[in-house]
A and B are shown apart, each in its own frame.
Chain A
Amino acid sequence: MKILVTVKRVTDPDVKVKVKSDGTGVVTDGIDYKVNPFDEIAVEEALRIKEKAGGEVVVASIGPAEATKEIRSALAMGAERGILVTTDQPLDPGVVARVLAKLVEEEKPDLILMGKQAVDGDNNQTGQMLAELLGVGQACFASKVELADDGGKATVTREVDGGFDVVEVDLPAVITADLRLNEPRYASLPGIMKAKKKPIKEVTLDSLGVDTNRKVVWHTFSEPPVRQAGIMVPDVPTLVAKLRDEAKVI
């Protein structure tokens, strides 16, 4: 089983970003970059499948040259090799999906695993778009993935409104990971050492010959509405009185 799994380099998910004063973006100075947490879950799932069924896990990322660090993190967890499509230009989910479709065409994986969304753009679009471009099935927001013994299909439990949706999808397919699919492992020290020698192929975005025109262009950034400062109440009776008489919500 050959699995292609995607990792995006994102700002540290636990840091609250601020909008630049001129509205051209968010301030990233001094913020660490990490693997998008949902992608880490996707990598973990790919490794578990490989460990059971055999095969190879290939990690792909699209972004600046620095994203080799995020690919190395996935290699340190146990993936075999990486592909970095380098670009400094802004992308949209459609462009990313087209680039990934190109990589799929070259690599011919049996399965594509991705995070359900990246915690910077919060789009939650790329996996679904890729599945459509490839003409394959999608199983998004996965909380459980079971592969058939012959590797021909997967049964996937999806987290949806009001419960769980279970679907059976033919492979190749695109599966996107939700939070509760697994708990990603930490890279071991030997894993980190080995990752340094694993191959990462770098190609430029322009060399791939895909349409890189965005259909979504980001303009001005603004601060979300700020809340008025509230008050601390000393005890429960005061709280209940405030809710009843001041806020009038109970």
Chain B
Amino acid sequence: MGNALIIAEYKDGKLKKGSRAAFAFAREYTQKNGGAFHVLVIGHNVTDVAEQCRRFGAEKVWQADAEGLGPYLAESWAQVVAQVAGDSQAELVGATATALAKDLLPRVAAKLDAGMASDIMGIDDNGYFLRPVWAGNAVVAAEITSPVKVVTVRGTEFEPAPEGEPGGELAPVTVNVDLGALKKRFVRFEEVKSERPELTEAAIIISGGRGTKGEEGFKLVEQLADLLGAAVGATRAAVDAGWVPNDLQVGQTGKVVAPDLYVAVGISGAIQHLAGMKGSKTIVAINKDEEAPIFSVADYGLVADLFKAVPEMVEEIKKAKA
């Protein structure tokens, strides 16, 4: 019976909430298949993060701490993951499907000669991994036939593992990666700062599309978001136009979200966009074209000019809150 090894992600010394989806999956997986759930933290000066990881029911938290391991590079981290996958007798290696995990885990899979399933939503009775294909218009049951299985876990499909008392044993990893031989160097990280909640963690998301017609128009979306303490999302069209940062793109090739409330403002509802938000609990669409496909997934549709409707919504909500 193999174990499940999950790679934890963190930012500024804090475990990312998103990682708890993969923790939850690993707990479920090991409860069903036997074996234990382990966590791996990689980086430099990550003792704090490793400590935080002890609170989610893992039997062991592996800490690979070395100067050369921070910041992240797929080439060095993949070697560490492969090493610890062996040390921890993992039959499943995974992480929540973030940009980092999508970059890292296929490389790990190749190193371990393992099959990989991306963005999994669950497991069926045969032990096959359920995952979206064709922009989420179909779900396939994917069997991984190799002894080690690599997965990324869709964050919206698993309730984050609950935080408890510190448990699991802390296990330092002796890292033997030749950093001189990596063929890649980190240059810099250009952070896009925002005071708003993260897209993948927000209860409410207000998203804007090409219909907002520019940065000025997009501000209406942001106003509504700020009033509700919501995150801001966007379509590819709005991102390509440079009105909002790239990592706000929701969709097949951007972020997948499932908040309690998703408000689509001036968004047509292309299949690539729907792929990223149709799992939201309540969907509102505001569009002046009554034929827009976004209405087919909306719980509440309003055919209106957004430049009138959104400011009016802000006023109504202020009234309702007062």
A interface residues (Cβ-Cβ under 8 A, vs B): 11, 13-14, 16-19, 26, 38, 92-94, 97, 116-117, 119-133, 136-141, 143, 155, 157-170, 173, 178-180, 214-225, 227-228, 230-233, 235-237, 239-240, 242-244, 247, 249-250
Residues of B within 8 A of A97 (CB): 110
Given A160-B99, A249-B260, A224 and B187 contact (CB-CB distance below 8 Å): no
Complex CA gap A119/B135 in Å reads 7
Beyond known contacts A161-B98, A179-B253: 11 more, CB 8 A cutoff? A122-B252, A124-B102, A138-B75, A162-B11, A163-B247, A166-B190, A222-B141, A227-B297, A240-B317, A247-B261, A249-B281
Residues of the A chain whose Cβ atoms lie less than 8 Å from the Cβ of B302: 232-233, 235-236, 239
Given contacts A93-B106, A124-B106, A215-B145, contact A224 B139 (CB under 8 A): yes
* A237 shortest CB reach to chain B, Å: 6
Docked-complex contact A13 and B272, CB < 8 angstroms? yes
CA–CA, A244 to B111, complex, Å? 52
- Identify which of B117, B188, B192 contacts A162 (C-beta below 8 A): B192
Complex alpha-carbon distance, A96 and B185, angstroms? 27
Contacts of B279 in A (CB 8 A): 225
Contact present for B247 and A166 (CB under 8 Å) = no
Which of B43-51, B215-223, B308-316 participates in binding chain A?
A: B308-316
Residue in A116, A216, A230 whose beta carbon sits within 8 Å of that of B116 in the complex: A216
B295 contacts A by Cβ under 8 Å: yes
> In the complex, A162→B204 CA distance in Å?
19
Q: Which of B89-138 contact A (CB under 8 A)?
A: 98-100, 102-107, 109-111, 113-119, 126, 128, 132-138
* Bound Cα distance A107, B34 (Å): 46
Question: Counting CB contacts under 8 A, is B299 at the interface?
Answer: yes
Whether B240 sits at the interface, judged by CB under 8 Å, is yes
Main SS class of interface, A: mixed
Minimum distance in angstroms from B288 CB to a CB of chain A: 13
Q: Do the beta carbons of B110 and A132 come within 8 Å of each other?
A: yes
- From A11, A235, A247, B299 is in contact (CB under 8 Å) with A247
Cβ-defined contact, B278 with A236, below 8 A: no
Question: What's the minimum C-beta distance from B229 to chain A, rounded to whole angstroms?
Answer: 10
A236 to B318, CA, bound (A): 13
Q: Is the CB of A122 within 8 A of B116?
A: no
**Contact of B68 with A by CB under 8 A:** no
Task: List, in ascending order, chain B residues with CB within 8 A of A164's CB.
Answer: 189-190, 192, 246
Q: Which residue of A lies closest to B245 (CB)?
A: A163
Is A231 a contact partner of B73 (Cβ separation < 8 A)? Answer: no
Question: Which residues of B are interface residues toward A (Cβ below 8 A)?
Answer: 11, 73-75, 78, 98-100, 102-107, 109-111, 113-119, 126, 128, 132-146, 182-192, 204, 228, 236, 239-240, 245-247, 252-253, 260-261, 270-272, 278-279, 281-284, 295, 297-304, 309, 312-313, 316-317, 320
Least CB distance, A68 to chain B, in whole angstroms: 23
Given the contacts A19-B138, A94-B115, A224-B137, A179 and B240 also touching, CB distance less than 8 Å: yes
CB-CB under 8 A for A169 and B184, given A215-B146, A216-B145, A243-B284 = yes
Taken together as a complex, chains A and B put the C-alpha atoms of A221 and B141 apart, in Å, by 6
Task: Given A92-B115, A141-B103, decide whether A26 and B184 contact each other with a Cβ distance below 8 A.
Answer: no
Tell me the smallest distance from the CB of B17 to a CB of chain A, in Å. Answer: 13
In the complex with contacts A14-B270, A162-B191, A232-B247 CB distance below 8 A: no
Q: By the criterion CB–CB under 8 Å, are A168 and B187 in contact?
A: yes
A18 and B271 CA atoms in complex are apart in Å by: 13
Contact of A222 among B139, B189, B261 (CB under 8 A): B139
Q: Hey, which chain B residues are within 8 Å of A219, CB to CB?
A: 126, 128, 140-143
Q: When the two chains form their complex, are residues B11 and A249 in contact, meaning their CB atoms are under 8 A apart?
A: no
Residues of chain A with a CB closer than 8 A to B261's CB: 243, 247, 249-250
Evaluate contact between A123 and B118: CB separation under 8 angstroms: yes
Chain B: minimal CB distance from A113 (Å): 16
Residues of B with C-beta under 8 A to A130? 110
Contact among B11, B136, B300, B320 for A231, CB-based, below 8 A: B300
A230 in contact with B283 given A215-B144, A240-B317, A243-B261 (CB within 8 Å): yes
